[in-house]
């Protein structure tokens, strides 16, 4: 039970932190030529989507290796954490922020409004540098202050 929870949390939180570092230093560095397809989208699939395939493969690979006994079971739970994160990422990043396959209703939660604000500010930058807000779920508290809900009547 404990290895399940700790493995899951390590995978889920670890991929947010490692992902933010990869985003900051590789995707906005030497791999910008791939990642810029997400900052200057033309609609449809982006070359940048291969990163999702890569991260997804790491998650599924760890999950299978752990539960089939090739590596300690702990790593199988890490794989579950990464895979669940991937699902959450698709819903929040691709659907909530970018409306890639149809839009979602405007979120009522202050946290989701701030998350959306933080990532939209990341996209204000169309060059590799400078930038801000490289993680998705964890962001600077200032985005809470900036993300006021829209007035109900306009
Ligand atoms: Zn970026
Ligand atoms: Zn984005």
Q: Give the per-residue pLDDT at 151.
A: 55
The model's pLDDT over 10-45, given as tens digits with 9 standing for 90+, comes to 999 999 999 999 999 999 999 999 999 999 988 889
What pLDDT digit, counting tens, does each position of 48-98 carry? 999 999 999 999 999 999 999 999 999 999 999 999 999 999 999 999 999
Q: Give the closest ligand to the alpha carbon of residue 100.
A: 2
| Domain ranges (residues) in the chain | 2-104
For residue 7, report the distance from its CA to the centre of ligand 1, in Å.
28
The structure's pTM equals 0.90
Distance between start and end Cα atoms, the chain: 51
Closest ligand to 29 CA? 1
Query: How many angstroms does the Cα of residue 2 sit away from the middle of ligand 1?
Result: 35
Torsion angle defined by CA atoms of residues 109, 153, 105 and 126, in that order, rounded to the nearest 10 degrees? -80
Which of 74, 76, 57 minimizes the C-alpha distance to 65?
76
Neighbours of 40 (CB within 10 A): 9
Q: From the CA of 123, how far away is ligand 2's center (Å)?
A: 7
Distance 10 CA to ligand 2 centre (A): 24
**Ligand nearest to the backbone CA of 49:** 2
Q: What 3-state class would DSSP assign to 100? A: strand
Neighbouring C-alpha atoms within 13 Å toward the C-beta of 48: 18
């Amino acid at each position: 039970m404990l290895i399940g929870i700790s493995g899951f949390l390590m995978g889920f939180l670890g991929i947010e932190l490692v992902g933010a570092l990869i985003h900051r230093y590789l995707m906005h560095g030497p791999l910008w030529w791939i990642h810029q397809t997400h900052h200057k989208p033309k609609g449809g699939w982006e070359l940048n989507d291969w990163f999702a395939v890569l991260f997804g493969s790491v998650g599924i690979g760890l999950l299978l290796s752990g539960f089939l006994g090739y590596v300690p079971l702990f790593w199988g739970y890490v794989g579950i954490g990464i895979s669940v994160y991937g699902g959450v990422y698709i819903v929040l990043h691709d659907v909530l922020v970018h409306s890639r396959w149809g839009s979602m209703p405007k979120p009522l939660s202050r946290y989701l409004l701030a998350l959306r604000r933080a990532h939209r500010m990341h996209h204000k930058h169309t060059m590799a540098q400078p930038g801000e807000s490289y993680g998705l779920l964890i962001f600077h508290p200032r985005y809470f202050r900036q993300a006021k809900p829209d007035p109900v009547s306009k």
